[in-house]
């Protein structure tokens, strides 16, 4: 490039931050610049802040939309191209990330590309560290975290780039600590120099750092004043009723609800996958920039109620009953076993057993539930999973339960996350309409617990259902090692036509009913068992070592279709 063209390009890049982003992007390692309307909108607002036209700027955009590169790496390098004496104070939740961005920005300023265009921007050799470096013109960049020193510094730009992490934003203590630090320490920095405050983050919580700016704007509007903060708020999917207005530097350009923010990178397929993995609450906050107070409700109960059905599919692919066991009857807590079934991708909540039982009673309830589940859905398709509490006592209790339920498909797992984290996959599935509720007398108590979770008094049904769901979708193995009962080979099936129950030890059939049917040697004769067939239950109990007398048939041969 000849000298005249280089001079013209340099002038254009210094005049326009948007042009600078596109021109300097190749200097950032391992990245490729993909232009987007949201980048141009951020650039125009940041340029206005750099020129003193905006004193307070809030930027809320979804993750991985080039926000950090624009705000934390490119912006100070561009400002120095025409104002090398500018002073920057950067804060982030992580010193590692703050220093990473500072290093990348310094590397850009020291690159051949940059020095060819702005040779007057030089860094002091005796004060050139990752966390603090200065220009020979008197400018500097100080990178810090909350609680680090900032006294004595009087910057021109105070930038908060992701001031809290996801985990920190979930802590009221961390949120209040950041706000106190901002009010008592940072707000007075650079006042004499008219410092611009720029806060950039994805929304994480209704009371996260962005809420400081949002509340100040609300108060100003309520008093009839101009909102002090210019707010660049761009959700992943456009929402007409929340469209960002144009206050002189551009607004949301989209017109149709659901229109994507950055379709060149985040296609409909990718966005849907993100929404599915993040769940409704995180999607609302981090993708849509509209965090909501949970008010104790994690589950979309109305969606599940709308999916209430009178009958589940006749043949489910598999069923899993999860158990949450109370420590003792006197504790006032409940033990609960929740049965879930799957047909393809659809999940069905089929049954809940719940009571305030002694430990021995719980094992009896579990054994009875195993038997009935296997009778109704067959042994091969039925599974029981119990939670193993921490410590040696929890392991011993789980092992005792497995021994007591020997012969059934039973698994004990030791969760490594809290109840809320374990319940989130089920909550997501309910929110996306993938879960159906079988109508039953237990529905009211179950739905009430879902509605109150995690703030409600009881969590046993939710914990049991979550454990069953994680097992059914194959996620439980990621949480903890498992103990599995020694079943031996799978029981042989009954040979009667159309019967898929295990055969009795002393017969090729499961019960006298099927034996009589088989004696006719007619393949067209099929027995339609009822779930409470006494003969079948008796044989099954005897087969697995439970004491139960052999009952008499209730009706003769003419009533084979039902017992």
Quickly list DSSP for 265-330.
Answer: TS-HHHHHHHHHHHHHHHIIIIITS-----TTB-S-HHHHHHTEES---SS-SEEEEEEE--S-GG
The whole-angstrom distance between residue 280's C-alpha and the CA centroid of its chain comes to 8
Question: Quick one: pLDDT band at residue 2, thresholds 50, 70, 90?
Answer: confident
Residue with tokens 């099927």: 514
Nearest to 305 by CA among 450, 425, 426: 450
Q: Which of 240, 261, 287 is the last residue of a domain?
A: 287
State the pLDDT at residue 563. Answer: 20
Q: What is the pLDDT of residues 404-424, one digit of tens each?
A: 888 888 888 887 778 888 898
Residue where one domain finishes, among candidates 262, 287, 312: 287
Domain co-membership, 258 together with 142: yes
Instruction: List for the chain the helix, strand, coil content (%; round to 5).
Output: 40, 15, 45
The answer, yes or no, to whether residue 224 has pLDDT greater than 60, is: yes
Assign 543 a pLDDT band (cuts: 50, 70, 90): very low
pLDDT over 60 at 287, yes or no? yes
The pTM of this model reads: 0.61
Question: Mean pLDDT across the chain, nearest whole number?
Answer: 83
> Which has the higher per-residue pLDDT, 52 or 456?
52
Q: Helix crossing, 460-472 with 443-452: angle to 10°? A: 90
C-alpha 61: how far from chain center:
18
pLDDT at 562 over 50: no
Share of the chain above pLDDT 70, in %: 80
User: Residue 294 domain-assigned?
Assistant: no
For residues 245-258, give the mean pLDDT. 96
Average pLDDT of span 166-180: 90
Integer distance in angstroms from the first to the last C-alpha of the chain? 94
Residues of the chain with pLDDT > 90: what percent? 54
Residue 102, pLDDT score: 95
pLDDT in the model for residue 489? 35
pLDDT tens-digit map of 443-455? 999 998 998 888 7
Number of structural domains (the chain) is: 3
The mean per-residue pLDDT over the stretch 362-371 comes to: 90
Residue bearing the bigger pLDDT, 181 or 121: 121
Per-residue confidence (pLDDT) for residue 308, from 0 to 100: 95
Q: What was the pLDDT predicted at 294?
A: 58
142 pairs with which residues across the strands?
A: 89, 132
The DSSP element (H or E) to which 112 belongs, if any, is helix 112-117
User: Lowest mean pLDDT: which of 113-122, 246-255, 437-446, 451-460?
Assistant: 451-460
Copy the structure tokens of residue 19. Answer: 């042009």
Same domain, 328 and 404: yes
For residue 220, give both structure tokens.
Answer: 């100003």
DSSP output for 74-101: IHHHHHHHH-TT-EEEEE-S-HHHHHHH
**Higher pLDDT residue, 533 or 10?**
10
**In terms of domains, do 478 and 501 share one?**
no
Q: What is the pLDDT of residue 316?
A: 93
* 434 found inside a domain: yes
**pLDDT confidence tier of residue 558, bands split at 50, 70 and 90:** very low
Whole-angstrom distance, CA of residue 460 vs CA of residue 452: 12
Question: Are 243 and 333 part of one and the same domain?
Answer: no
385-401: average pLDDT: 78
Q: Inform me whether the pLDDT recorded for 478 exceeds 60.
A: no
Mean pLDDT is lowest, of 160-169, 337-346, 477-486, for 477-486
User: Are residues 170 and 88 located together in one domain of the fold?
Assistant: yes
Under the banding of pLDDT at 50, 70 and 90, the label for residue 30 is low
Judged by DSSP in three states, 346 sits in strand
Residues 446, 542 share a domain: no
What contacts 552, CB < 8 A, 6 or more positions away?
none
Q: Are residues 42 and 99 in the same domain?
A: yes
Q: What is the pLDDT of residues 459-473, one digit of tens each?
A: 899 999 999 999 999
Kindly write down the DSSP assignment for every residue of 386-433, as one continuous string. EE--SHHHHHHHHHHHHHHTTTS-EEEE---S-HHHHHHHHHHHHHTT
Q: Establish if 141 belongs to a structural domain.
A: yes
Q: What is the CATH number of the domain that holds 113?
A: 3.40.50.300
Q: What is the DSSP letter of 559?
A: G
Give whole-number Cα distances, 450 to 311, 345, 418, in Å. Answer: 22, 22, 16
Gap between the Cα atoms of 116 and 104, Å rounded: 18
Whether 394 is covered by a domain: the verdict is yes
Q: Return the beta strands (E) in 414-558 as ranges.
A: 435-438, 482-484
Q: How far is CA 107 from the centre of its chain?
A: 36
Asked if residue 124 and residue 73 are part of one domain, the reply reads yes
Residue 8 confidence (pLDDT): 93
Asked if residue 292 is part of any domain, the answer here is no
> Residue 172: pLDDT above 80?
yes
pLDDT at 538: 42
CATH number at 450 reads 3.30.420.240
Q: Look at residues 339, 325, 313, 351 and name the one whose alpha carbon lies nearest to residue 471.
A: 339
Backbone conformation region of residue 195, classed left if phi is above 0, alpha if psi is from -120 to 50, else beta: beta
Query: Is the domain of 198 the same as that of 52?
Result: yes
**Does residue 239 lie in a domain region?**
yes
Are 458 and 508 members of one domain? no
Please report the pLDDT score of residue 500 as a whole number. 58
Shared domain for 323 and 265, answered yes or no, is: no
Residue 552 pLDDT > 50: no
Name the strand (E) or helix (H) holding 161: strand 157-161
- Rounded Cα distance, 151 and 185, in Å: 8
Domain final residue, candidates 232, 258, 287:
287
- Cβ atoms of 213 and 201 within 8 Å: the answer is no
Domain that holds residue 16: 3-287
- Of the candidates 378, 511, 356, the residue with the CA atom closest to the CA atom of residue 445: 356
Residue 75 lies in a domain: yes
Q: Are residues 368 and 226 in the same domain?
A: no
- What mean pLDDT comes out for the span 87-104? 93
* Distance between CA atoms of residues 165 and 94, nearest Å: 8
- Dihedrals φ, ψ of 350, to 5°? -100, -35
- Separation of alpha carbons 195 and 179, rounded Å: 18
Confirm whether 149 is domain-assigned: yes
For the beta sheet containing 230-233, the strands, ordered from the edge strand earlier in sequence to the opposite edge, are 123-128, 132-135, 140-144, 87-91, 157-161, 196-201, 56-60, 230-233
Residue 384: the pLDDT is 93
Tokens of 323: 């158990």
* Cα–Cα distance measured from residue 536 to residue 511, given in angstroms and rounded to the nearest whole number: 5
432 cis-preceded (ω within 30 degrees of 0): no
The mean pLDDT value for 232-259 works out to: 96
pLDDT at 522: 64
124-166 per-position pLDDT tens digit: 987 668 889 999 999 999 998 886 665 556 899 999 999 999 9
The DSSP call for residue 297 is B
Judge contact between 150 and 190, C-beta under 8 A. Answer: no
Q: What is the pLDDT of residue 196?
A: 95
pLDDT mean over 349-378:
90
Determine the Cα–Cα distance for residues 342 and 320; give it in Å rounded to an integer. 9
């Amino acid at each position: 490039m000849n000298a005249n063209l280089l001079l013209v390009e340099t002038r254009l890049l210094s005049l326009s931050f948007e042009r600078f982003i596109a021109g300097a992007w190749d200097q950032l390692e391992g990245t490729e610049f993909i232009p987007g309307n949201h980048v141009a909108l951020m650039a125009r607002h940041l340029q206005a802040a750099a020129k003193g036209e905006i004193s307070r700027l809030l930027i809320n955009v979804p993750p991985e939309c080039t926000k950090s590169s624009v705000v934390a790496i490119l912006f100070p390098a561009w400002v120095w191209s025409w104002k090398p004496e500018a002073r920057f104070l950067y804060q982030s939740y992580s010193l590692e990330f703050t220093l990473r961005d500072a290093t990348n920005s310094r590397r850009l300023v020291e690159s051949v590309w940059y020095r060819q265009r702005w040779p007057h921007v030089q860094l002091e050799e005796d004060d050139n560290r990752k966390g603090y470096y200065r220009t020979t013109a008197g400018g500097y960049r100080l990178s810090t975290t909350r609680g680090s020193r900032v006294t004595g510094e009087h910057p021109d730009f105070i930038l908060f780039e992701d001031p809290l992490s996801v985990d920190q934003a979930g802590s009221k203590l961390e949120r209040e600590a950041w706000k106190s630090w901002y009010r008592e320490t940072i707000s007075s920095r650079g006042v004499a120099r008219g410092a611009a405050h720029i806060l950039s983050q994805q929304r994480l919580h209704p009371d996260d750092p962005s809420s400081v700016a949002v509340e100040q704007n609300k108060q100003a509007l309520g008093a009839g004043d101009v909102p002090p903060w210019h707010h660049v708020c761009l959700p992943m999917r456009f929402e007409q009723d929340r469209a960002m207005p144009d206050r002189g530097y551009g607004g949301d350009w989209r017109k149709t609800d659901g229109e994507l923010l950055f379709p060149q990178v985040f296609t409909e397929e990718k966005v849907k996958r993100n929404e599915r993995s993040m769940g409704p609450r995180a999607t609302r906050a981090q993708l849509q920039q509209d965090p909501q107070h949970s008010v104790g409700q994690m589950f979309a109960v109305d969606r599940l109620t709308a999916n209430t059905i009178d009958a589940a599919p006749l043949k489910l692919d598999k069923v899993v009953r999860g158990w949450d066991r109370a420590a003792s009857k006197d504790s006032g807590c409940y033990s609960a076993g929740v049965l879930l079934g799957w047909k393809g991708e659809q999940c069905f909540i089929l049954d809940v057993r719940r009571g305030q039982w002694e430990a021995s009673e719980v094992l009896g309830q579990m054994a009875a539930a195993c038997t009935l589940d296997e009778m109704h859905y067959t042994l091969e398709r039925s599974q029981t999973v119990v939670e193993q509490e921490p410590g040696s006592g929890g392991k011993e209790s789980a092992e005792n339960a497995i021994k007591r339920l020997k012969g059934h498909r039973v698994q004990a797992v030791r969760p490594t996350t809290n109840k809320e984290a374990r319940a989130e996959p089920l909550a997501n599935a309910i929110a996306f309409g993938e879960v159906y509720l079988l109508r039953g007398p237990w529905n009211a108590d179950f739905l009430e617990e879902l509605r109150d979770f995690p703030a409600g008094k009881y969590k046993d049904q939710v914990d049991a259902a979550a454990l069953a769901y994680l097992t059914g979708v194959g996620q439980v193995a990621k949480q903890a090692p498992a103990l599995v009962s020694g079943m031996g080979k799978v029981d042989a099936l009954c040979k009667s036509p159309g019967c898929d129950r295990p055969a009795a030890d002393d017969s090729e059939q499961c019960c006298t009913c099927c034996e009589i049917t088989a004696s006719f040697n007619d393949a067209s004769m099929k027995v339609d068992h009822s779930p409470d067939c006494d003969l079948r239950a008796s044989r099954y109990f005897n087969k697995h070592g439970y004491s139960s007398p052999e009952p008499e048939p209730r009706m003769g041969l003419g009533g084979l279709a039902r017992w």
